[in-house]
Structure 1
Amino acid sequence: MDKSSKKRMFGGNGLLYPILGFASCLAFIYLSFGDLWFDYHKEPELGFVERNGTQFMVDGRVFYVNGWNSYWLMDQAVEENSRPRVREMLKTGAKMGLTVCRTWAFNDGDYHALQLSPGRFDEQVFKALDHVIAEARQEGIRLLLSLVNNLQAYGGKTQYVKWAWEEGIGLSSSNDSFFFDPSIRHYFKNYVKTVLTRKNTITGIEYRNDPTIFAWELINEPRCMSDASGNTLQEWIEEMSTFVKSIDKNHLLTVGLEGFYGPESPKRLTINPGEWAATLGSDFIRNSNISTVDFASVHIYPDQWFHDQEFKETLKYVIKWMVSHIEDGDKELMKPVMFTEFGYSNLNDDFEPSQRDRFYKTVFKVMYRSARKNGSGAGCFVWQFLVGEMEEYNDDYGIVPWERPSTYQLITEHSCRLARVQGVLFSKNAHLKDLCSQRL
């Protein structure tokens, strides 16, 4: 631009230099604090995840999930000194190209309890869950939120039964009365309604209207061993899934199953890891084949199921287990199938970190093959990821993924392969550009 043009632009009154100085100042601020500016003022746009037959869809595009479990997010968000771990985990997950985190939206009657007693909630803990959802939204991560535990950890169905028993209204002291006691069913419905209609104190959005939430999970690993026929659990799933859908018509819903076949699936019983698996009161196909259940869930823990099996045989079984359930999704259920937990223990006698990598690689490979064929295999979630200095939350499956480069690379490569199949989602565009520039 020539001098006369500059005069015309600024009216020849000497404003050029102050404006340039101000622009330079803005540029310096952006370059120095650009990341912080992005974190607080520019969120990725998220649409609700929907289902079209055997596939998930987001904004008209197929959506395959590379996910992980960090069950501890709400618990760590309660106290100010531990809250930064939530952001660190979600931010790192986003950098790895991960898209969904599965975490607990419950803590019943325990330390940092969300539900102190039936219908009584701790607002500080609820604000911690608000924080988790708001942080996930900032990072473009969706959340698969589980509503209660079959196990005793964090209260679970044991705590519900204890509450009813202490009030003198419980029908039985058996943990399985959680599924058939009308009073306990009322407790749980009240809890579900309170959570789904919660207005986030940070974002101002009710949970049921927030696309940051990928889906709800009714219960983690349900078992009703007092009724091996499966009728008790089936009736509970039908009632509770209908109740959730009556409140929240935006979000998908799954049961939270481990994937074991029950007596109503005789042709599949040989796929189970043992005869015991058919006696737990759950049935993968029957429990998932309900209109109010949008997708099926499966867990993969071969070293829990087989104690004397060679590692090579273990990997063969993992493939068989996954392919069987994907076939069920394709041909029986006509719904997506998610492997919402998979892990390999470091307590195995012959454990080497390379074995865990091979196990992960096997799971990713089966998932990727299904995605390439437009199959029902819709995603998988490592159990579990932690950040540093969280030993008390670790089990024999937990890892800090960036501490082992080979594991980190496996996970990020899977993110890039899925992106190649589905295309890059808008919310992940910035992360995947850098992460997959050499691979896409």
Structure 2
Amino acid sequence: MVKIASRYRMVGGNGLFFPVLGFASVVAFMYMSYLRHSVNYQNHATLSFVGANGSHFLVDGKLFYVNGWNSYWFMDHAVHDHTRPRIRSMLQAAAKMGLTVSRTWAFNDGDYNALQLSPGHFDESVFKALDFVIAEAREAGIRLLLSLVNNLDAYGGKTRYVKWAWSEGVGLSSSNDSFFYDPSIRIYFKNYVKTILTRKNTITGIQYRDDPTIFGWELINEPRCVTDPSGDTLQEWLEEMSTFIKQIDNKHLLTVGLEGFYGPKSPKRKTVNPEFWAADMGVDFIRNSAPSTIDFASVHIYPDQWFKKKSLEGKLKFVADWMHSHIEDGERVLKKPVMFTEFGLSDLNKGFDPSQRDEFYKVVFDVIYESAKNKGAGAGSFAWQFLVEGMDEFNDDFGIVPWKRAETYKIITRHTCRLAKIHGGGVIPITGNMKDICNGRW
């Protein structure tokens, strides 16, 4: 879920003129910085592909549980020199916390800093920004879960595809949901996906589909198809697109990007869904996650968005029940890992205090830890969202700079350490900085 109502436009250049010598110095500095980055990338961390076996993730034959986070803004900020350092700062800080996977956007359709300017037409400078993000993640030893399109309007989304088809005179309908059934739009999206998967990184020289830095692909952020509550339209689209992706890239994991709602035919629609409306969104967690081309299930957690009148205690109880239900589905029905790829608590709630968000994080982490300890299907979680200092204008009411509040930082790193203990120090080695973090925190 993109919670940003509006994004501030940060455009380089302020009309100042530099003396010739000063300008030459700037150019020289930028050139030396480029060379320094090129050298650094030769010493990138060695990563293996993440695989799935039943309801577990595996890396080099060892169980792998994710303590991750969302920084959707990586590609957008990598476009300009003055914002690019934020990517490295965030990745390095995350690595020091023992975080292992970041979820971020690999799309920007026809918007500011657009990657896809129009169907099949791309801005190479923005593509190079995405190359940079992947190279920086590789350098930091962080994997990326890359989302391919947005159900919402932010960064273009399915609305942009529909407008493109409509403006070219080939669209069947102006409805946003025609994204899922219009043949022309399906072609647009397939061409986009193929371009992304076969892209050769200009920094590392590795095609995206061959790069283990990429944890996996997410088809669409929070899909909904409200014009067909039965779910048939969305299901057909998911099956077609996931099959298409697997034909091009069978090395990476693939998920849908669901919020986790149960559909109209599910017995859990009345007992687990947040409210009655959730069954009418044209989605169903079990059905959408079931195809063999989908490697793991995805779920989001926004109790204060889904409930307006529950107390904090009531919301936290819902969170635990919501997570347990989906983990149970992963173990007993889907036989696949389940990842909670977004969770957040708004600071706009009446009487909000940061300690409430800490309690929320604890509940999410405790459920994941208990599942991991029992070798369950609860494979990991991703906080929405983490930022670095100086990004207040890009924040929403869910985002945090995780190291600014000592208690929050402690809760996150403690979760890392508990998961690392389960791994036996294999996937998340207890050495160096991690040894200092985890000492005495079991």
Q: TM-score, normalised by structure 2?
A: 0.90
Alignment partner, residue 257 of structure 2: 256
Instruction: Please tell me whether the aligned partners of residues 346 and 398 of structure 2 are also in contact (alpha carbons under 8 angstroms).
Output: yes
The Cα shift of 1:268 comes to 4.4
Whether the 8 Å contact between 1:147 and 1:217 is mirrored in structure 2 is yes
Which residue in the other structure is 1:412 paired with? 413
Aligned letter for 2:344?
G
Q: Distance in 2 between matches of 1:425 and 1:431?
A: 15
* Cα contact 1:345–1:396 (8 A) shared by 2: yes
Secondary structure in 2 aligned to 1:214?
Answer: strand
Quick one: structure 1 residues 59 and 431, their matched pair in 2 at CA, closer, same or farther if it must change by over 3 Å?
farther
8 Å contact kept, 1:46–1:427: no
Query: How many angstroms apart in 1 are the aligned matches of 2:433 and 2:209?
Result: 27
- The letter of the residue matching 1:82 is T
* TM-aligned CA deviation for residue 270 of structure 1: 1.6
- Whichever residue aligns with residue 234 of structure 2, its letter is L
Identify the match of residue 438 of structure 1 among 427, 436, 440. Answer: 440
Tell me if the contact between 2:41 and 2:135 (Cα under 8 Å) persists in the aligned partners. no
Q: Whole-Å Cα distance in 2 between the matches of residues 175 and 185 of structure 1? A: 13
Flag the 1:44–1:426 CA change in 2: closer, same or farther, 3 A. Answer: farther
Partner residue, 1:73: 74
* Alignment correspondent of 1:216: 217
> Superposition RMSD on alpha carbons, in Å?
1.5
- Alpha-carbon distance in structure 1 between the residues aligned to 2:402 and 2:218: 25
| Whole-angstrom distance in 1 between the partners of 2:199 and 2:372 | 35
What do residues 119-176 of structure 1 show as CA deviations (whole Å, max 9, x unaligned)?
0000000000000000000011000000000000000000000000000000000000
Q: State how 1:240-389 maps to structure 2 within 5 Å.
A: 240-389=241-390
8 A contact 1:253–1:294 mirrored in 2: yes
> What is the rounded CA distance, in whole Å, between the counterparts of 1:49 and 1:68 in structure 2?
17
Relative distance call for 1:211 and 1:368 in structure 2 (3 A) is same
Pairwise CA distance, 1:321: 0.4
- Pair 184,40 (structure 1): closer, same or farther in 2 beyond 3 Å: closer
1:425 to 1:108, Cα distance in 2 relative to 1, 3 A: farther
Contact 2:64/2:427 (8 A) holds in 1: no
The aligned residue for residue 201 of structure 1 is 202
The one-letter code matched in structure 1 to 2:249 is D
Give the distance between the partners of 1:205 and 1:318, measured in 2 at CA: 40
Mapped contact 1:341–1:383 kept (Cα < 8 A) = yes
Instruction: State whether residues 259 and 284 of structure 1, in contact with CA within 8 Å, keep that contact through their aligned partners in structure 2.
Output: yes
Deviation string 1:40-61 (CA, Å, 9 cap, x unpaired) is 5532210000001000000010
Q: Quick one: distance in 1 between partners of 2:329 and 2:313? A: 25
Residue matched to 1:122: 123
Amino acid at match of 1:421: I
Secondary structure of 1:299's match? strand
State the structure with more CA Rg: 1
The structure with more helix, counted as a fraction of residues: 1
CA distance in 2, matches of 1:391, 1:57: 37
Query: Which residue matches 1:191?
Result: 192
Report the CA distance between 1:250 and its aligned residue.
0.4
Query: How far apart, CA to CA, are the structure 2 residues paired with 1:313 and 1:210?
Result: 43
TM-score by length of 1: 0.90
Does the CA-based 8 Å contact 1:94-1:431 persist in structure 2?
no
Q: CA separation in 1, counterparts of 2:161 and 2:41?
A: 39
Note if 1:91 corresponds to 2:89: no
Give distance in 2, aligned partners of 1:215 and 1:269: 32
Equivalent residues of 1:260, 1:282 under 8 A apart: yes
What is the total number of aligned residue pairs between the two structures?
406
Measure the CA separation in 1 of the matches of 2:276 and 2:45. 47
Gapped regions of structure 1 (runs ≥ 5)? 1-34
What letter is aligned with 1:85? Answer: R
Deviation at 1:38, TM superposition (A): 10
Which residue is 2:155 aligned to? 154
1:163-178 pair list within 5 angstroms:
163-178=164-179
Check conservation: 2:331, 2:376, Cα contact below 8 A: yes
Flag structure 2 segments of 5+ consecutive residues without an equivalent. 1-35
In the other structure, the counterpart of 1:15 is none
Alignment of structure 1 residues 25-44 onto 2, 5 Å: 40-44=41-45
- Asked if structure 1 preserves the Cα contact closer than 8 Å seen for 2:109 and 2:118, the reply is yes
Which residue matches 1:4? none
CA distance in 1, matches of 2:52, 2:432: 25
| Deviations, residues 279-317 of structure 1 (Å, cap 9, x unaligned) | 000000000011000000000000001111111111111
Give the Cα–Cα distance (whole angstroms) in 2 for the partners of residues 78 and 438 of structure 1.
Answer: 42
Distance across 2 between alignment mates of 1:386 and 1:308: 29
Task: For 2:268 and 2:221, locate their aligned partners in 1 and report how far apart those are by CA, in whole Å.
Answer: 26
